[in-house]
Amino acid sequence: MSEDKIGPGEDVPPPNLDKTIMYLASPYSDPLDTVMLRRYKDVLAKVVEMVKLGSLVYSPIVHSYHVAQEIPDSDSFSYWQEFDLIMLKRCDMLGILCIEGWKDSIGVKTEIEFAEYHKIPIIYFYR
């Protein structure tokens, strides 16, 4: 296979495999569905903004939202914790979207502690 192709017969340049991937954490769980929907929309807007700028961003809320709609009782961090932390370990940095509830979020707190323990750089996005 040629260095400038993805696969046989492909005329598409290969991806930049050295590009940094950010895990974007944000609060989600709440007793009110309206709060969870607003938080989803807030982090979705941030992911779209960052992707438009060329960033590689993984958001557990954005990327799991529709799957979670199909799984009863999957709207808590404890349901997704193992999956989320495995994904965070594979990312190069942790971003924190500092929207309402982020300081009290068990998920965000756990993700920060995990990143600190594994020496994953952390950046904060304030609105």
Give yes or no for a contact between 27 and 98, defined as CB atoms under 8 angstroms apart: no
Model pTM score:
0.85
Give me the half-sphere count of Cα atoms (radius 13 Å) on the Cβ side of residue 84.
27
Q: Which CATH number goes with the domain that contains 76?
A: 3.40.50.10400
Interval 73-92 mean pLDDT: 89
Residue 115 has pLDDT above 90, yes or no: yes
Residue 96 has pLDDT above 60, yes or no: yes
Based on the structure, what is the number of domains in the chain?
Answer: 1
Confidence band, pLDDT 50/70/90 cuts, at residue 77: confident
Query: Is 11 among the domain residues?
Result: no
Query: Is 79 among the domain residues?
Result: yes
Q: Using one digit for the tens of pLDDT, what is the confidence trace for 31-40?
A: 999 999 999 9
Query: Which residues form the domain of 30?
Result: 21-126
Query: Is 10 among the domain residues?
Result: no
Query: Is 7 among the domain residues?
Result: no
Confidence band, pLDDT 50/70/90 cuts, at residue 12: confident
